Structure 1
Amino acid sequence: MSPTATQKQTEERHAAKRSAALLSVVAAFFITLLKLATGLLTGSLGMISESAHSGIDLIAAAITLFSVQVSDRPADEDHNYGHGKVESLSAFVETVLMLGSSIWIVYEAVRRIFFHEHLTLALNIWPFLVLGLSIAVDFTRARNLGKVAEAHNSEALAADAMHFGTDIWSSVAVLIGLSATALGVHFHSTKLELADPVAALIVSVIILKVSWSLARGTIDNLLDATPAQGAESGGQTRRNLIRDLAAIDGVLSVNRLRTRRSGSSYFADVTLAMPRALTFQRSEQITMAATAAIQRVLPDADVVVHSVPTATLAESVHDRIRAAAGRANLSIHDVSVQQYDGALHVEQHLELPESLPLRTAHDLVTRLEADIRREVPAIATILTHIESEPATIEHPASLERDRQLEHTLRNVAQRFPEVLDIHDVLVTRHHDRTQVNCHCTLPDDLPMGEVHAIITALENAFKLEAPEVSRLLIHPEPATDNRR
């Protein structure tokens, strides 16, 4: 995906989150004013508690608006993981405010229930209308916030959606309490007159329950707990990730997995043990597969994969010798291992820059041979042939010789009617050795036995014409697919 497309998606996500948060603030402001005015006019603790709850929601909505403005800012020098934690901090502040409002409501309810203070209510139709309007508004904004939070993985908007979803039930509780109180006044029932403060207590319980749920999730995010997905716990999500990573071909073990969430973004730090004989390209392929496995569980996660080269039980002696050379960043070839007299004997060729002094080259070889013996204690002797790696550009005279060899090869190939084409001829030289590589086109239906015989005959005929060539490598290809 292009940077322009990514930036456009980020801008659209930010605009959607900001719009939802702003509408929530406006709705919370008007609902809070209506509930407070109605509660003060009627003297209903249930309505006053609801206005306090809505006031907390107004503050929370304002904090949410601020947090979504800040959280989508890109990472900078001072905040390398971005500003997503602002959403977690916002949710934590909301939790503290809701807890404070619950304590106040409980205090007022206890005074009215046990000390019969302020039980007289001036009931009329307005509390019922305000509560009905509040339920309708809370339902609409909770649904809108929930959709935006789920679409953009916003912790702050999800907290607001949860708040306003519970507001519906708390408003219903107050509505029932006011209705029961009105009946108590009409029928002169003292017990029914206590329904309003009891409803306030129910509201406080709802607030406490929501606060506890929010506090757990918020604290987990602030402490970088493993993100949970769906109905799974964070621990189960981590176990599933380790299982998926370990199942990737080429991964020997998952040595470490750390995940965290910051706002709507996920981060993962993975250490994987891989066979040390892998090529760099294969290691990169495994890294990409590991990144994809994590992002299937944690969408768009920023994944860092650290690979640890590890020896495997399936390694051959040749693999272990090359691993020792690889650690020293040395290039060896034509490694030969023989076994006699109950021990292993190694012969190898080592390429070193042609400008390197003999003393330095000999020191490198000595260290390499000592490392190989530590790697494979069964090795008794090592004979290393030091070759100089040319550091100069090939001269025109050498290029002309290469063209002559290619011309000779094509002429020899014409003696074999089965050979349809010779292409991609490459001549290489290592010190005093010349090697020719080429691709050879043959009929599709030619049996492999005949293919081998033709190639062998072509090699022998060419070496008779060009005895200076020490090796000819031929890659046979079918006529219908001779360019791979």
Structure 2
Amino acid sequence: MIALDRKAKVASLSIISNTILIILKVGAGLLSGSVSIVSEAIHSGMDLVASIIAFFSVRISSKPADIEHPYGHGKIENISGLAEGLLIFIAAFLIIKESVLKIMHPVEIEETVIAIIAMAISAVVNTVVSRILYKVSQEEDSLALEADALHLKTDVYTSAGIAAGLLLIKLTGISILDPIAAIIVACFIIKEAWHLSKGAFAPLIDTRLSSEEEEKIKEVLETYKTEILDFHNIKTRKSGAVRYVDFHVTVNPELTAKDIHELTKRLEKSLEEKIKNINLTIHIDHS
């Protein structure tokens, strides 16, 4: 429950910061006439929707297993990640569409100083919030919060890039640099959407755990050589923050039922120390 409260709080922080930045960017975009800032406002709008999705998904994913969902609700975070990825693709399309129109029909950029300040503030705020989100996402193993942190991290780069583009416009007077900067922003966003969607989709089809995690499982099993003659049929998958691990072990025939029970308990403890949020199913084979 403490983890849920913590995840919900940082998700709420993202909602608040995105709302404030949308207002800031829309105001700066209207004052300056900058399509790149308007594109950033669109991006932040998508970020806000993503933050709301993340907020509800961490609440649902933390619910315990029930009759209808015996493996828990963890995969809701993967579904929300896919939804966020789709939103980012839509945002990128809208930005590119608007930028192409501005290239065909150039608009003079005004109030560049205000626009640059707005982008600088956005970059600083998102740097702070994204670091908080990423820290909690790693500690709580939350894909939804990690996706939200990735959104904001990209926003940092794009805000900084737009600020640099506006500064060049102020120095050179070449207004077409603004929609070009917006298209570059969209390319970053598309790259973000692809990586996010790919990472969110894999657990939905029960992709195995990483090679590093599976190697840790094997290393633990190999420390019980005197009691375990062989281990095989290792199957792994992940649902939300929970890692499901299933394997067979062939035990020493001299072990009694009590010995095997104690061995299983020690195995569970050793694996839980190596891999967090692990759910084990151990099959005992006799030689």
Do Structure 1 and Structure 2 share a fold, with TM-score over 0.5?
A: yes
Q: Which residue of 2 aligns with 1:401?
A: none
Amino acid at match of 2:235: R
Mapped contact 1:242–1:257 kept (Cα < 8 A): no
Correspondence for 2:257 among 268, 280, 299 = 280
Q: Greater CA radius of gyration, 1 or 2?
A: 1
Amino acid at match of 1:308: D
Matches within 5 A, 1:42-441: 42-113=32-103, 115=104, 117-185=105-173, 192-227=174-209, 234-249=210-225, 250-310=227-287
Matched residues in 2 for 1:293 and 1:259: separation?
A: 17
Deviation at 1:69, TM superposition (A): 1.2
Deviation at 1:71, TM superposition (A): 0.9
Q: Deviations over 1:345-378 (max 9, x none)?
A: xxxxxxxxxxxxxxxxxxxxxxxxxxxxxxxxxx
Query: SS at 2:284's partner residue?
Result: strand
With structure 2 as the length reference, what TM-score do the two structures score? 0.93
Matched residues in 2 for 1:224 and 1:296: separation?
A: 23
> What's the RMSD between the two structures over aligned residues?
1.8
Query: SS at 1:79's partner residue?
Result: coil
Q: Which residue of 2 aligns with 1:469?
A: none
Q: Which residue of 2 aligns with 1:34?
A: 24
Amino acid at match of 2:28: T
Matched residues in 2 for 1:50 and 1:297: separation?
A: 42
Deviation at 1:277, TM superposition (A): 4.0
Amino acid at match of 1:169: Y
Matched residues in 2 for 1:152 and 1:126: separation?
A: 39
Distance 1:144 1:240, change over 3 A: closer
Matched residues in 2 for 1:160 and 1:127: separation?
A: 25
Amino acid at match of 1:180: L
Matched residues in 1 for 2:53 and 2:256: separation?
A: 51
Matched residues in 2 for 1:124 and 1:174: separation?
A: 11
Query: SS at 2:208's partner residue?
Result: coil
Deviation at 1:122, TM superposition (A): 2.5
Matched residues in 2 for 1:297 and 1:260: separation?
A: 16
Mapped contact 1:248–1:289 kept (Cα < 8 A): no
With structure 1 as the length reference, what TM-score do the two structures score? 0.56
Mapped contact 2:237–2:243 kept (Cα < 8 A): yes
Mapped contact 2:109–2:175 kept (Cα < 8 A): no
Query: SS at 1:169's partner residue?
Result: helix
Amino acid at match of 1:278: L
Matched residues in 2 for 1:213 and 1:147: separation?
A: 19
Query: SS at 2:10's partner residue?
Result: helix
Matched residues in 2 for 1:298 and 1:79: separation?
A: 23
Query: SS at 1:125's partner residue?
Result: helix
Matched residues in 1 for 2:124 and 2:56: separation?
A: 25
Matched residues in 2 for 1:201 and 1:124: separation?
A: 19
Q: How many pairs were matched up?
A: 286
Matched residues in 1 for 2:130 and 2:41: separation?
A: 17
Larger RCO: Structure 1 or Structure 2 (Cα < 8 Å, ≥ 6 residues apart)? 2
Higher strand share: 1
Mapped contact 2:25–2:41 kept (Cα < 8 A): yes
Higher helix share: 2
Deviation at 1:124, TM superposition (A): 4.1
For structure 1, list consecutive stretches of 5 or more residues without a partner in the other structure: 1-10, 186-191, 228-233, 311-484
Matched residues in 2 for 1:18 and 1:296: separation?
A: 26
Amino acid at match of 2:132: N
Q: Which residue of 2 aligns with 1:20?
A: 10
Q: Which moved more, 1:72-81 or 1:242-251?
A: 242-251
Matched residues in 2 for 1:220 and 1:37: separation?
A: 39
Deviation at 1:139, TM superposition (A): 1.4
Matches within 5 A, 1:436-447: none
Using the aligned pairs only, state the percent identity. Answer: 29
